[in-house]
Chain A
Amino acid sequence: MAKLNGNWNYYQWADCGKGFGIHSFLLIVALTCLFPLFWMVRSSLMSMDTIFADTALIPARLHFANYVQAWVDGHFGIYFINSVIYTASVVSGIVFIASLAAYAFSRLRFPGRNFFFYVFVLAMMIPLPGSFVPLYVMMNKLGLVNTRFGYILCMINLGLSMSILLLKTFFDKMLPDLEDAARLDGCGRLGIWWYVALPLARPAIAVIVIFNALNVWNEYILAQLLLNDPSLMPLQRGIMLFQGVYSVNYPVLMAGLTISVIPILLVYLLMQKHIVKGLSSGAIVG
Chain B
Amino acid sequence: MKAKIGAFPYSSGMEALRCYAFIIPAVVIFGIFYIYPFFEIFNLSLRDWNGIDLHKTYVGFDNFRELFHDRIWGQSLLNAGFITFIALTLQNMLALALALACDRDIRAKNFYRVVFFIPPILSEVVVGFIWRWILNAGSQNGEYYGLLNYALSKLGFQNLAHNWLSNPDSALICIALVHSWKGFGWGFLMLLAGLQTVDKQLYEAARVDGAGSWSAFKNITLPLMMPVIWVVMILTVLGSMQVFVLILSMVGQGLVYHTEVPVTRILSAMTGTNRFGYACAMGVTFGAILVGVSVAFRALAGKMKPA
With the chains together, A9 CA to B232 CA distance in Å?
A: 28
- Asked whether B160 is an interface residue with its Cβ less than 8 Å from the other chain, the reply is no
B189 surroundings in chain A (CB, below 8 A): 275-276, 279-280
B294 surroundings in chain A (CB, below 8 A): 127
Q: Taking chain B's interface residues, is the majority helix, strand, or loop, or is none over half, making it mixed? A: helix
A103, A133, A137, A217 interface centre (most CB from chain B within 10 Å): A133
| Closest beta carbon of chain B to A97's beta carbon, Å | 5
Q: Flag if A176 contacts B29 (CB, 8 Å).
A: no
Q: Flag if A157 contacts B121 (CB, 8 Å).
A: no
| Closest beta carbon of chain A to B16's beta carbon, Å | 5
Known A3-B105, A243-B129; judge A52-B140 contact (CB<8 A): yes
User: Which residues of B1-54 have CB atoms within 8 Å of chain A's CB atoms?
Assistant: 2-10, 15-16, 18-20, 22-23, 25-27, 29-30, 32-38, 40-41, 44, 51
Q: Flag if A272 contacts B117 (CB, 8 Å).
A: yes
With both beta carbons as reference points, the residue of chain A lying nearest to B207 in the complex is identified as A9
- Asked whether A147 is an interface residue with its Cβ less than 8 Å from the other chain, the reply is no
| Closest beta carbon of chain B to A53's beta carbon, Å | 8
With both beta carbons as reference points, the residue of chain A lying nearest to B194 in the complex is identified as A283
- Asked whether A240 is an interface residue with its Cβ less than 8 Å from the other chain, the reply is yes
User: Which listed residue (A34, A97, A275, A280) contacts B29, Cβ 8 A?
Assistant: A97
Q: How many residues of A contact B (CB 8 A)?
A: 104
Q: Flag if B98 contacts A29 (CB, 8 Å).
A: yes
With both beta carbons as reference points, the residue of chain A lying nearest to B154 in the complex is identified as A55
Q: Flag if A33 contacts B124 (CB, 8 Å).
A: no
- Asked whether A58 is an interface residue with its Cβ less than 8 Å from the other chain, the reply is no
A53, A134, A153, A254 interface centre (most CB from chain B within 10 Å): A134
Chain B interface residue count: which class? 35 or more
Known A40-B130, A43-B133, A120-B30; judge A13-B105 contact (CB<8 A): no
> Using an 8 Å CB-CB cutoff, how does the interface string of A260-272 with B read, 1 for contact, 0 for none?
1100110011001
A19 surroundings in chain B (CB, below 8 A): 106
With both beta carbons as reference points, the residue of chain A lying nearest to B129 in the complex is identified as A257
- Asked whether A180 is an interface residue with its Cβ less than 8 Å from the other chain, the reply is yes
With the chains together, A29 CA to B269 CA distance in Å?
A: 39
Q: Flag if B124 contacts A220 (CB, 8 Å).
A: yes
- Asked whether B72 is an interface residue with its Cβ less than 8 Å from the other chain, the reply is no
Known A137-B40, A260-B123, A283-B228; judge A269-B114 contact (CB<8 A): yes
Known A105-B23, A137-B40, A276-B189; judge A240-B249 contact (CB<8 A): yes
| Closest beta carbon of chain B to A129's beta carbon, Å | 5
Known A43-B133, A153-B33, A189-B8; judge A52-B145 contact (CB<8 A): yes
Q: Flag if B126 contacts A239 (CB, 8 Å).
A: yes
Q: Flag if B117 contacts A131 (CB, 8 Å).
A: no
A106, A107, A282 interface centre (most CB from chain B within 10 Å): A107
Q: Flag if B30 contacts A104 (CB, 8 Å).
A: no
A12 surroundings in chain B (CB, below 8 A): 212-213
A26 surroundings in chain B (CB, below 8 A): 98, 101-102, 106, 112
> Using an 8 Å CB-CB cutoff, how does the interface string of B276-292 with A read, 1 for contact, 0 for none?
10011011101100110
Known A11-B104, A123-B30, A133-B270; judge A109-B200 contact (CB<8 A): no
> Using an 8 Å CB-CB cutoff, how does the interface string of A87-113 with B read, 1 for contact, 0 for none?
000000000111011011111111101
User: Which residues of B81-137 have CB atoms within 8 Å of chain A's CB atoms?
Assistant: 94, 97-98, 100-107, 111-119, 121-127, 129-131, 133-134, 136
- Asked whether B181 is an interface residue with its Cβ less than 8 Å from the other chain, the reply is yes
A39 surroundings in chain B (CB, below 8 A): 130, 133-134, 147
- Asked whether B193 is an interface residue with its Cβ less than 8 Å from the other chain, the reply is yes
- Asked whether A71 is an interface residue with its Cβ less than 8 Å from the other chain, the reply is no
Known A98-B26, A172-B2; judge A135-B33 contact (CB<8 A): yes
B122 surroundings in chain A (CB, below 8 A): 218, 261, 264
Q: Flag if B287 contacts A130 (CB, 8 Å).
A: yes
- Asked whether A186 is an interface residue with its Cβ less than 8 Å from the other chain, the reply is no
A interface residues with partner B (beta carbon < 8 Å): 3-14, 19, 22-23, 25-26, 29-30, 32-34, 36-37, 39-40, 43, 52-53, 55, 96-98, 100-101, 103-111, 113, 116, 119-120, 123, 126-138, 153-154, 156-157, 160-161, 164, 172, 176, 179-180, 189, 193, 214, 217-218, 220-221, 225, 236, 239-240, 243, 248, 250, 253-254, 257, 260-261, 264-265, 268-269, 272, 275-276, 279-280, 282-283, 286
